Structure formats: C-alpha cells, structure tokens
Chain A
Amino acid sequence: MSTDTLMYTPLDSLKEAAARTTELIDMVRHDSPSLLPTTSAILENIEMHLADALGRHIPGITWDRALAMRRSTPEARAATYVFDDGSPVICWLPLNDTGSELTHFPRSNGDAAEHVARIAALHARDGDSDARD
C-alpha cells in the first residue's frame, strides 16, 4: 500500500483517477488522430463510466448521452477538482517559454517547480514539443 495512503479518502482517489484518465484519453485522441471508430467509442464509454461514478457522490454531474460528454454544474465542477482537505486535484502550469501548459497533480507529482523541471528535461531529451505529463 502506498506510504501516502492516509492522505487519500476513497473519493479523493476516485477524483484523481478520473482526472488523470480523462487527461490520458484526451492525450490518446490527440496523439492518435486515426483511432478506429470502435476504439473511440470504447474510450467514450470509459468517460461515461467515470462520469457515472463521480455523479454518484458529487451532485450535479451527469453524462449527456446525446453529446457524449460529461455535464457538471459549476459547484460540481469545482468539487471534482478539490480533494476533501481543500487542496487541488489538478492544476495547469506554464511549461518554460513554449506557450504550452503542463498538467500537474500536486498531491502525486509533488512540488510544482520540480515537476516542471523534470518534464522540461524529458522534453529536451526526447525533442518532444508537446506538453505532456
């Protein structure tokens, strides 16, 4: 079990897993524009399950089947991105002077400056111009 187990309530873990997965699905769509329709539909299905799971515990979150997207009231959206102790689940940081933003999960990624430096070094090594976590 993780050493930081006590920091996470089950709802905290659900929120962070949902945020990470949503970001990763966006990344897959961005990096693989020629996804098969079936694969794309399956990814959409994951998003629906995440919305359903969050919606069971955060009032105001629903899945819009017609548009295949999550709908949240402002209060629900705010609650989705805040842990039970009030700290942020996710934030977006500028990555050097590239104009790109870096997704940052403060609780698991640690210090923001160190995270940015770590990712910038990876990008420099790989020659990757995309801002990715």
Chain B
Amino acid sequence: MLETDYTPLDSLKVVSDTVIATTRNIRETTPLLSEATEAGLEAIDHAMTTALQHHVAGIQWLPGTGSRMLTLAALMELGTLSDGSEIDGPDEPSVRAVESHPSLFETAIQRLRSADTEPAMASTADVTSLSMRSTLDGLMLLAWHRARGDVSPEALGAWVDTLALSVAHRVMGGEAA
C-alpha cells in the first residue's frame, strides 16, 4: 500500500509501531540509560498506546512495566492496514530479539505457566523486572506466530491469548496492591 493512500488510522498504526519499536531499540542498545530517559521513553510508549486504545479494542497498558498487552484480535488489527495489507510484524525488534534467543520462547511458556498457578510470581518485583518484560514480549511473539499460522494451534494450545489477559489482570492487580 502506498503511503499516500494511508488513512489517518493507518498512519497512526504505522507511526506507533515505529515509535514503540524505536524506544525499545534505544533501551536494548544503550547501556545505563538515565532514569529521566527511561521515564521519558516509557511515557512516549504510553502516549502511543493511549492513542491506539481510542480506536482498537483489546489493548492494555501495564502500569509500572513500560509494557502493553494485546489480545490476539488487537495484535492482528494493529498489523493490518485499511486495504487489508500487513505492516511488518508488530514489535519487530522484540521478534528479532526473541528469535535470536530461541530458549526464551520456551522460557516464556514456563514462566507464564508458573505465574498462572503461583500468584506469588506476579509480585511487583517480577512485574518491573526485565525478565517479565521479556516474558510479555515472548507472549506477543507466540500470539503473532500462531495468528500467522506459523505455529499450529495444537502445538501452542488455545491458552496463549487467554493467558495473556490473565497475566495482564494479575499484573494490574499486583500493581494495585
């Protein structure tokens, strides 16, 4: 699709995807970011997420984590332009990061299974940890691949996206507590 044919919502999706990927890139490539920079980058991600929430259902911002959680439907909606064509996979840097560390795929599943049965896993410390962010990223990747048909539903199970929401609620509850 030509950029000149983008609707405003297409532009919002594309620029949000780019901005969120870019802030993540800064975090991953810049050692020792100052607190002010970290806070600023998180606020930028939040601003973009809020803008998307006005038009796409199923997007949750996870306070204190700098992360967002998407339902499978939202993930697909964000990755699709008005003419039905796809923009690059959502959160490409995450995809690359996880694909370069295949074990994270399995680790994400294990951590989420643990979190589902052991509420203590969702402590505030976990929520704000980098590993939790990676887990959420891994989950997004799982959902994305499944939606694209790269991985069979039988292999992953239908629990992936429902568990995503479960974890999101748990995280939100942990923050509130």
Chain A contact residues, CB within 8 Å of chain B: 1-2, 4-5, 8-14, 16-18, 20-21, 24-25, 27-28, 31-32, 34-36, 38-39, 42-43, 45-46, 49-50, 52-53, 56-57, 108
Contacts of B48 in A (CB 8 A): 17, 21
List residues of B whose CB falls within 8 A of some A CB. Answer: 3-4, 6-9, 11-12, 14-16, 18-19, 22-23, 25-26, 29-30, 33-34, 36-37, 40-41, 43-44, 47-48, 50-57
Q: How far is the CB of A34 from chain B (nearest CB, A)?
A: 8
- Closest chain-A Cβ to B56's Cβ sits at a distance in Å of 8
Q: Are A38 and B54 in contact (CB under 8 A)?
A: no
Instruction: State the Cβ distance, B120 to closest chain A Cβ, in Å.
Output: 32
B15 touches A2 (CB 8 A): no
| Cross-chain contact B12 with A53 (CB below 8 angstroms) | yes
Query: Given the complex of chains A and B, what is the CA–CA distance between A36 and B33 in angstroms?
Result: 9
> Could you give 16 example pairs across A and B, Cβ below 8 Å?
A10-B11, A10-B55, A12-B54, A16-B51, A17-B12, A20-B47, A25-B40, A38-B29, A39-B26, A42-B22, A46-B22, A46-B23, A46-B44, A53-B14, A53-B15, A57-B11
Known: A21-B44, A31-B40. A2 touches B34 (CB 8 A): no
Distance A56 CA – B52 CA, assembled complex (angstroms): 18
Report which residue of A1, A31, A52, A57 has the largest number of chain B beta carbons within 10 angstroms of its beta carbon.
Answer: A1
Instruction: Give bound CA distance, A82 to B109, whole Å.
Output: 46
Dominant SS among interface residues on chain B: helix
**Among A25, A42, A50, A53, residue most surrounded by chain B Cβ atoms (within 10 Å):** A53
- CB A112 to nearest CB in B, in angstroms, measures 19
* Closest chain B residue, CB of each to CB of A14: B12
Q: Do A13 and B12 have beta carbons less than 8 Å apart?
A: yes
Given the known interface contacts A46-B19, A46-B22, A56-B6, the answer about A17 and B47 at a Cβ–Cβ threshold of 8 Å is yes
Tell me the bound Cα distance from A17 to B34 in angstroms.
Answer: 23
Residues of B within 8 A of A108 (CB): 50
Residues of B within 8 A of A34 (CB): 34
A-B interface, 4 closest residue pairs, ranked by CB to CB distance from nearest = A31-B36, A28-B40, A17-B51, A10-B8
- In the assembled complex, the Cα of A42 lies from the Cα of B25 at a distance in Å of 9
Residues of B within 8 A of A52 (CB): 3, 15
Q: How far is the CA of A2 from the CA of B50 in the complex (A)?
A: 8
Do B11 and A28 touch (CB < 8 A)? no
Tell whether, in the assembled complex, residue B36 and residue A32 are in contact, meaning their CB atoms are under 8 Å apart: yes
A12 neighbours in B (Cβ, 8 Å): 54
Q: Assuming the A-B contacts A39-B26, A45-B22, are A14 and B11 also in contact, with contact meaning beta carbons closer than 8 angstroms in the complex?
A: yes
The CA of A12 and the CA of B53, in the complex, are separated in Å by 13
Do A36 and B30 touch (CB < 8 A)? yes
Central interface residue in A13, A14, A39, by most chain B CB within 10 Å: A13
**Nearest CB of A to B38, in Å:** 9
